[in-house]
Amino acid sequence: MMNDLERTIVNGLQGGFPICERPFLAAAERLGIGEEELIEGVRGLLDQGVLSRFGPLYHAERMGGALTLAALKVPEADFEAVAEAVNAFPEVAHNYARDHALNMWFVVATDKPERCLEVIDEIEAATGLHVYNMPKLAEYFVGLRLEV
């Protein structure tokens, strides 16, 4: 379980981290903790796996890349093998099993727009399944903030 300090850090840094000479000091002052406490706290949270990343979050399209959400209808018996084949692609960023006939949902992120469709084709070839490709057409919200 997280202690109060860790909770403060997780809640306080999801919104953003300063870009200045002493960013840990600036962020720590805002959170009412010490600079060293913040640095060691972030290290601990990364080590425990509570945080998967501490760094920049890129906007794929503005980076010149592409991002899409895709789904597969996987026969239950083949699920593990298909998951392995899909996850083997370095361009696959997330992959979730969900309760639906379309039961595998993953995000494909590529650094060139044309590569995105190639990866979709390659996943179809590797799995023998049709990939339902659902790139976003509009975005109504971007933040992901979880209070702990």
Partner 1 sequence: MAECTEESTMCDPRHALLLQSVQSGLPLVHRPYAELGQRIGMSETEVIGLLSEWVAAGIIKRIGVVVRHRSLGYDANAMVVWDVPDGRIGDVGRRMSAFDFVTLCYRRPRQGDAWPYNLFCMIHGKDRANVLAQIELLAASCDLTDVPRDVLFSRRCFKQRGARYAARALAAS
How far apart are alpha carbons 107 and 119 in whole angstroms? 11
Q: How far is the CB of 139 from partner 1 (least distance, A)?
A: 5
Name the residue among 101, 104, 109 with its Cα closest to residue 83.
104
Size of the site for partner 1 (CB under 8 A): 77
Residue 4 or residue 141: which is nearer to partner 1 going by CB?
141
CA 103 remoteness from chain centre:
19
Q: Taking CB under 8 A as the rule, does residue 72 contact partner 1?
A: no
- The residues in 127-146 that bind partner 1, with binding defined as CB under 8 A, are 132, 134-146
Name which position in 87, 118, 121, 125 contacts partner 1 (CB under 8 A).
Answer: 87
Q: Taking CB under 8 A as the rule, does residue 71 contact partner 1?
A: yes
Name which position in 63, 81, 121, 125 contacts partner 1 (CB under 8 A).
Answer: 63
Q: Taking CB under 8 A as the rule, does residue 30 contact partner 1?
A: no
How far apart are alpha carbons 109 and 17 in whole angstroms? 24
Token pair, residue 123, equals: 């996943």
Other C-beta atoms within 10 Å of 127: how many? 18
